[in-house]
Structure 1
Amino acid sequence: MPAPTFLSQIQSRVRIEHVFFAILIVAIILRFAFLDLKLFHHDEAIHAWFSYKLLTEGTYIYDPVYHGPFLYYVTAGMFALFGDSDLVARILPCIFGVALIPLVYCLYRMEYLSGKVAIIAAAFMAIAPELIYFSRFVRNDIFVVFFSLLIVVAFLAWIQKGKWYYLLIAGVSAALGMCSKENMPLVLVTFGLFFLYLVWSRKFVFPKMWLRDIVIAVIAFAGVICLFYSSFGAHPEVIFTAGQSAISHWLDMHGQQRIGGPPYYYMLLFVLYELPILILAVVGVILCLRRPNDAQKPKEAVLETADTELFESSEETVSAEPLAPAKKKFSLVDLFRRPERPVLINRQEEFIRFAIYWTIIACLTYAYIGEKVPWLSLHQLVPMIFVAAYALSFAGKYTKPLMIIACAFLLVMTFHVAFTPADIAEPIVQVQNSEDLVVMMAEMDAADKIAIASDQAWPYSWYYRGDAWNNISYYGKKISEDSILSGNFDIVMMHDGDSYESLPGYEKKTIRLSYWLDGGATGTNPGWLTYYLTRQGKIGSINTDVFTKISS
């Protein structure tokens, strides 16, 4: 027998926990590195400014236009601890993005994912471009996807262990998701329907003290929601109006399609940024549908009968050999049929079925919703990653090379969208503040008197908060040339569409205020393929005319 090589000795000592730890380090680096490299997005500036107002003035009342209160309270808390800055505002989104990795590990430990599937899923979570981009972004969606996955993990832990505090965690997670953004009810309805399926199909057994546990979780759920939406008691009336105002506002936005797009909008984003995950997810759905139920059980699967406590702790589980494939044609109905008698339950198979269901429902839901914005892709991407990992686990000897190719693609896109310190022609930016403002604000910092004679207050309201705003005269619209000249301003800024041809004694230049990918994204290019390979697209922008006083 040949002596083991040095590499094989190392491999024999590597445990799955070591791999998860390495993935976690990668996730931390990609989310926290150069965290303030880019200026705030338009929405980030608004969210940070409201958080700053909450901290300095103690004022906050729920407005569905700006989503739930959770983001504002936790961001204000971070400002209180570490000071108000772009970097500090982005720390918590980064932490929540990184925290998805431990949740995947929990699913592995509870045997809902095999080791291979868990590692692949964790790796994709760590480097997926959209997950990284919006983990470095002061918006609510990374909180919602974290709380969504935490609900799943905590609920499964409650079923497995029967401890009341796991369902309490699920209830609080659901409440914090509700306090984060108005799309959380869609997630809860999605989960609730699958739960009803499990009960109906007798694949679910309640723990002994289930009624007590549910009462505790519901009380906690209601309490958290009341605390946040009442602004911790400052506005108790909002508790009774928040739901109606949120539904009215977002139904109106859906009807208006203020930021519209085709039903396949998010598929285009996945093609641009998550192509390997999308392809593998499609393969995963096909594999799950085409493989007979009794042939879907991987070697690491745990099977149990429905008359035992489903999902007991691992030391009490019973292993079973896979049954022979049934000699009949595939039937979609059979995948979700009601069993006549207690049936063999495979945790990993059932979880993947849930992930496929979650992915399909999320994709259909957001395809239908009229408002199309890139951060909503996260709610489809997270379950999709589990399906993609499931598919790749069947690749056999091709698993490693396919994983390398997939990770290389994802990392290239990640570095492009998250670490390019320039204006990029990408739909993921939505309406991003231009890097032109870095030079502009350096000039403003050196000026004594500044006039903004337009309605373009953002992101200056954030970057010149507090006493820094004292040097700025904000008019909100174009004013007469005589009024501007009498003000003796060092810098005058105006919307380029409602500006002066020139100002005596001033030098004029035009810069981008904010920008986006324009139209079909191809500009003068021959088509989508050229754009896809070169990313040389046409950029649309809101521009500012800047008049700088000429030194005498």
Structure 2
Amino acid sequence: MKAAVFTTRFRERLSFEGIFLLILLATIILRFYFLDLKLFHHDEAIHAWFSYRLLTEGIYSYDPMYHGPFLYYATAGFFSLLGDSDLVGRFFPALLGTLLVTLVYPIYKLGYLDRKQTLIAALFLAVSPNMVYFSRFLRNDIFIAFFTMLLLVALLYYFERRQMRYALIAGAAIGLGMSAKENMPIIILIFGVYLFYLVWTGKVQLPTHWIRDLVLGVLVAFGITVAFYSSFGAHPEIALTWWIQAIEHWISMHQMQRLGGPPYFYILLFILYEVPILILAAVGVLQFVDIRGILSRWRERRISHAGTWGIGDDAENREEAPPAVEPLPVEQTPGFRDRLREILSGTGKIRPVDRQKEFARFAIFWMLLSLAAYAYIGEKVPWLILHQLLPMIFVAVYAMTTRKAVIAVAASVFLIAMTFHVAFTPADINEPIVQVQNSEELRGVFAEIDAADRVAIATENYWPLPWYYRGDNASKLSYYSQKVSEATIYGGDFDMVITHDGNTYPTLDGYVKETSRLNYWFSYDENKERLFEYYFLRDGNMGSRNIEVFTRVPAGTTA
């Protein structure tokens, strides 16, 4: 009796909303727990440093090399509220990475996802290695992922409720996305093309006041974009030229392929980190096109064809043709101009739509175009996988039966294991996801710098030092950006000298030399002969950039 009561109460509490809240709690923990576990990545240190300068000196001007201004203003704002640190620098990305999961719920409320689909989509977003890793990472891509979801939800609600406020939210999502990173136009184009398809086919009807809402939404997007790129009026000229600078820069990056890779680069990353989602997405596509039904109908036609005409195809073996049936009258299809007039005026018939199937069609369209776009773009970096992973998750949850849901939950064990490996290992890891990560060995170097009074940085490879030694601590570091003469070293009376190991001093009298790893990356060349073994062990040699640290020996001590 007691067991039955306990089971009943457990089921009552384990409602759909209860499970969703548990997933959200896991999302929060994975994003915020020990957020400063690892040193800032090379790019994170640069972004944090620019944000710090914006806060303390008011210095900022758009440079497409470092993407849009939104990150810097948002991070500077959090620095001003909570102080400047690694943890605070990653706070806003972690917050938006969390809110990204919550935006699945309103899609469910509109009926585009059922309960199983909603919970599995939220689970995948919560525990995906890439979603977690780049939510704990001061880069623009988690911002774009969030604004993409916000735009999607706003558009769904606009066509459901036909209220202007959702058009304004959509405009804000576009403006903030455009201010965050230059790949937001890819999202706008994909969404715009599919929206045109929906409107033209009568699956969606424009409200009668759509022109007013469109104009207001565009004004909001334009206003936000101009405000950020002009540095809120400090650089008005940038508001007119930023898009030209962005196009020129990214065309040159595409042609140069500074960080190039094959078209299937991101497929390899999916196999490394998101293989359950990749497989379920492939299954989802096959389910959507109903490949079994197609094959079954093809077989039936072959059998029917063979049975009707026989082997010899003789006139005697042919069945008599059925009598002709009088065709039903066909409704007149409106011409192009009439259809356009209906669309623009918000009139005409609306076709009945299976919301979950139509949302799956859109997700497949979104996923395939995103995969194609980033396969083509010459710059191949791991954080761009987010913009392909997001639609892939919605494809993966299509036709989510109980059996498929159980498989998805079981497969999430792989995702969770990979998440803990890439996000919570307090050491250098041999993974492509890190790109060029600053080494944990630097913590020992930082301790030596802290104990010194004067430090010479005789190399151009000095990031993340400007971030970790800012403000009052910056005065102890002298940056030469290249190897200098020994006379300069001795004349400067430096306690420490840091050089690149490829351009250094054999020895310095009175100093002890140690080599430390500055940053590191996954090296394909070092592991190409053992890729299968690497997939399961995640070990092997890494590529690295090293520094040599010369520490002055105290007087009276032999070096």
TM over 0.5: yes
Cα deviation, 1:16-36, whole Å, max 9, x if unaligned, reads 111111111000000000100
Cα deviation, 1:156-195, whole Å, max 9, x if unaligned, reads 1011111110111011101100000000001100111101
Mark the CA change 1:155 to 1:182 in structure 2 (over 3 Å): closer, same or farther: same
Indicate if the aligned counterparts of 2:427 and 2:440 stay in contact, CA closer than 8 A.
yes
Segments of structure 1 that go 5 or more residues without pairing to the other structure are 295-326, 330-338
Mark the CA change 1:251 to 1:128 in structure 2 (over 3 Å): closer, same or farther: same
**Counterpart in 2 of 1:286?**
286
Cα deviation, 1:491-511, whole Å, max 9, x if unaligned, reads 110010010111111111111
Q: How far did residue 220 of structure 1 move?
A: 0.8
C-alpha separation in 2, matches of 1:126 and 1:474:
42
Corresponding residue SS for 1:492: strand
C-alpha separation in 2, matches of 1:69 and 1:187:
19
**Counterpart in 1 of 2:412?**
407
Alignment TM-score, normalising by the size of structure 1: 0.89
Q: How far did residue 210 of structure 1 move?
A: 1.6
**Counterpart in 1 of 2:363?**
355
Cα deviation, 1:365-413, whole Å, max 9, x if unaligned, reads 000000000000000001101111225x13x43532x133211100100
C-alpha separation in 2, matches of 1:282 and 1:422:
34
Within the alignment, does 1:19 sit opposite 2:1 as a pair? no
Q: How far did residue 522 of structure 1 move?
A: 1.4
Indicate if the aligned counterparts of 1:162 and 1:208 stay in contact, CA closer than 8 A.
no
Q: How far did residue 521 of structure 1 move?
A: 5.2
Within the alignment, does 1:496 sit opposite 2:504 as a pair? no
Q: How far did residue 2 of structure 1 move?
A: 13
**Counterpart in 2 of 1:397?**
403
Correspondence list, 1:102-121, <5 A: 102-121=102-121
Indicate if the aligned counterparts of 1:517 and 1:537 stay in contact, CA closer than 8 A.
no
Counterpart selection for 1:374 from 366, 372, 382: 382
Within the alignment, does 1:437 sit opposite 2:442 as a pair? yes
Within the alignment, does 1:540 sit opposite 2:543 as a pair? yes
Cα deviation, 1:104-153, whole Å, max 9, x if unaligned, reads 00100111100110000000000000000000000000000110111010
Q: How far did residue 476 of structure 1 move?
A: 1.1
Aligned letter for 1:195? L
**Counterpart in 1 of 2:195?**
195
C-alpha separation in 2, matches of 1:471 and 1:277:
49
Q: How far did residue 488 of structure 1 move?
A: 2.2
Mark the CA change 1:222 to 1:397 in structure 2 (over 3 Å): closer, same or farther: closer
Cα deviation, 1:512-540, whole Å, max 9, x if unaligned, reads 111101124516xx521100000013201
C-alpha separation in 2, matches of 1:198 and 1:235:
40
**Counterpart in 2 of 1:126?**
126
Indicate if the aligned counterparts of 2:382 and 2:432 stay in contact, CA closer than 8 A.
yes
Indicate if the aligned counterparts of 2:204 and 2:350 stay in contact, CA closer than 8 A.
no
**Counterpart in 2 of 1:58?**
58
C-alpha separation in 2, matches of 1:485 and 1:342:
82
Cα deviation, 1:396-446, whole Å, max 9, x if unaligned, reads 43532x133211100100000000111110000000001110111011011
Q: How far did residue 9 of structure 1 move?
A: 3.8
**Counterpart in 2 of 1:516?**
521
Corresponding residue SS for 2:524: coil
Correspondence list, 1:158-237, <5 A: 158-237=158-237
**Counterpart in 2 of 1:486?**
491
Structure that is richer in helix per residue:
2
Cα deviation, 1:213-250, whole Å, max 9, x if unaligned, reads 11211111111111111110111111110111100000
Counterpart selection for 1:549 from 547, 552, 555: 552
**Counterpart in 1 of 2:77?**
77
Within the alignment, does 1:254 sit opposite 2:254 as a pair? yes
Corresponding residue SS for 2:232: coil
Cα deviation, 1:66-85, whole Å, max 9, x if unaligned, reads 10000000000001001111
Aligned letter for 2:443? V
Indicate if the aligned counterparts of 1:108 and 1:115 stay in contact, CA closer than 8 A.
yes
Counterpart selection for 1:365 from 366, 370, 373: 373
Mark the CA change 1:398 to 1:50 in structure 2 (over 3 Å): closer, same or farther: closer
Q: How far did residue 202 of structure 1 move?
A: 1.0
Aligned letter for 2:484? I
Mark the CA change 1:19 to 1:473 in structure 2 (over 3 Å): closer, same or farther: same
Aligned letter for 2:395? V
Aligned letter for 1:389? V
Counterpart selection for 1:383 from 391, 409, 424: 391
Indicate if the aligned counterparts of 2:253 and 2:378 stay in contact, CA closer than 8 A.
yes
Within the alignment, does 1:464 sit opposite 2:472 as a pair? no
Corresponding residue SS for 1:345: coil
Indicate if the aligned counterparts of 1:521 and 1:531 stay in contact, CA closer than 8 A.
no
Aligned letter for 2:161? K
Indicate if the aligned counterparts of 2:159 and 2:206 stay in contact, CA closer than 8 A.
yes
Aligned letter for 1:545? E
* Structure 1 residue ranges, 4+ long, deviating more than 4 angstroms after superposition: 1-5, 291-294, 339-342
C-alpha separation in 1, matches of 2:352 and 2:13:
34
C-alpha separation in 1, matches of 2:411 and 2:526:
25
Aligned letter for 2:545? I
C-alpha separation in 2, matches of 1:405 and 1:429:
26
C-alpha separation in 2, matches of 1:397 and 1:452:
60
Corresponding residue SS for 1:541: strand
Aligned letter for 2:428? D
Q: How far did residue 544 of structure 1 move?
A: 0.3
Q: How far did residue 13 of structure 1 move?
A: 4.1
Corresponding residue SS for 2:261: coil
Indicate if the aligned counterparts of 2:512 and 2:553 stay in contact, CA closer than 8 A.
yes
C-alpha separation in 1, matches of 2:213 and 2:144:
23
Q: How far did residue 209 of structure 1 move?
A: 2.1
Within the alignment, does 1:529 sit opposite 2:532 as a pair? yes
Moved more, 486-495 or 358-367: 486-495
Q: How far did residue 4 of structure 1 move?
A: 4.2
Corresponding residue SS for 1:232: coil
Aligned letter for 2:492? G
Correspondence list, 1:415-454, <5 A: 415-454=420-459
**Counterpart in 1 of 2:271?**
271
RMSD, matched Cα: 2.0
Mark the CA change 1:10 to 1:344 in structure 2 (over 3 Å): closer, same or farther: same
C-alpha separation in 1, matches of 2:33 and 2:188:
33
C-alpha separation in 2, matches of 1:328 and 1:171:
51
C-alpha separation in 2, matches of 1:389 and 1:515:
36
Within the alignment, does 1:153 sit opposite 2:161 as a pair? no
Corresponding residue SS for 1:508: strand
C-alpha separation in 2, matches of 1:71 and 1:342:
42
Alignment TM-score, normalising by the size of structure 2: 0.88
Corresponding residue SS for 1:157: helix
Q: How far did residue 5 of structure 1 move?
A: 5.6
Aligned letter for 2:397? A
Cα deviation, 1:58-104, whole Å, max 9, x if unaligned, reads 11111111100000000000010011111001000000000011110
Aligned letter for 1:253? M
Aligned letter for 1:397? R
